[in-house]
Copies of this chain bind each other. A is one copy, B any other.
Amino acid sequence: MPGNTFGSLFTVTNFGESHGPAIGCVVDGCPPGLELSEADIQIDLDRRKPGTSRHVTQRQEPDTVEILSGVYEGKTTGTPIMLLIRNQDQRSKDYGNIVETFRPGHADYTYWQKYGIRDPRGGGRSSARLTAPSVAAAAIAKKWLLQQYGTVINGYMSQLGEIPIAFESLEHVPQNPFFAPNTSQIAALEEYMDALRKDGDSCGARINVVASNVPVGLGEPLYDRLDADIAYAMMGINAVKAVEIGAGFEAVVQKGSVHGDEITPDGFLSNNAGGILGGISTGQDITVTIAIKATSSIRTPRRSIDKQGAPTIVETFGRHDPCVGIRATPIAEAMLALVLMDHALRHRAQCADVSVPLLVNRK
């Protein structure tokens, strides 16, 4: 496959460029009969859209979604669902200065080398704006997973640059622009961001995502393991450089007598596995952590070269997120939802007849 389709049975075929006329996706494989309206999708798009605080890009995009197919009288029909998002706030001129040069840390150089042509407007296809269609598609998956299994997926920021964010409660997450699970640190985070912007610099972030009430048995054991597909989905998000499941790197120093989660009739006694054993979901919470690099577009001058290979200096103006991690939480939730949805359909294709009395299925 050419690479712009996510999933095998619940598929998302993504198209568009940052400053083209529109972005969107075709969602195929959605079960029929699911009640679906644009409002169901808009909620998640609004959580990810730009311009919602001074700490993110000021590009004004309502990210209004239109459903152009696959829904009849308020229900999915089992045919492809086309989701269209028109780009509103295009300012190609902002990018005129980068047509001939390669911005350090960006995909300018690699696109040019791979394709011999690139759309430089806002990074074109390589812009994080292309995560919007994934978020829109995932809203459908989240609704179905919730109805089928009561599955809920929650993410939050656990570190902003050098500042670790203590976990207080998921209830704090919607109450601040950072998706931080801790309101008491918001002032410190805002101060940190303001200083960064003043310096014309940017920073990274760490995001955690947790899926609860996941059915046991999802995942194809050998290559298409549930953890493998989660890693693929997360590392595929723009700017992500690392993925951990469960104990993650901590597992290196854990002895076997510590790491292996013991089981009792009342459930597992720990969750170092992060809800996945042998590539298959255990029914425990699926816990994922990702690392997001600092935005590459900064005002600080950086050395680079132009298309002729001559040395040049790049300073990026225009509108950019000083920390792309701030808007990454709903995106990470979305990617996890897409993986779970796809594996839920794959599981019932092969194992619909299996009726094992569920044993322990608690946290």
Contacts and interface: CB of A to CB of B under 8 A. Distances in A.
Interface stretch (A41-49, A56-64, A224-232): A224-232
Given A15-B82, A257-B298, A349 B114 contact: no
Contacts of A235: 225, 227-228, 230-232, 243, 245
B356 A130 contact: no
Q: How many copies does the complex hold?
A: 4
Contacts of A232: 228-229, 231-232, 235
A119 B77 contact: yes
B107 A72 contact: no
B302 A4 contact: no
Contacts of A249: 206, 241-242, 249, 291
Interface string A91-115: 0000000000010111101111111
Contacts of A355: 116
A281 to B, nearest CB: 7
A263 B111 CA distance: 15
A54 interface: no
A204 B204 CA distance: 28
Contacts of A202: 255-257
A78 B28 contact: no
Nearest to A244: B242
Interface residues of A, number: 161
A251 B260 contact: no
Contacts of A114: 78, 216-219, 280, 347, 351, 354
Contacts of A302: 257, 260, 262
B228 A353 contact: no
Interface in A199-215: 201-206
A131 to B, nearest CB: 10
B107 A221 contact: yes
B204 A116 contact: no
Contacts of A117: 32-33, 72, 75, 77-78
Given A72-B117, A106-B278, A110-B277, A294 B259 contact: yes
Interface string A271-294: 011101111111100000001111
A350 B185 CA distance: 45
A53 interface: no
A113 B80 contact: no
A135 to B, nearest CB: 14
A174 B272 CA distance: 32
Contacts of A291: 244, 248-252
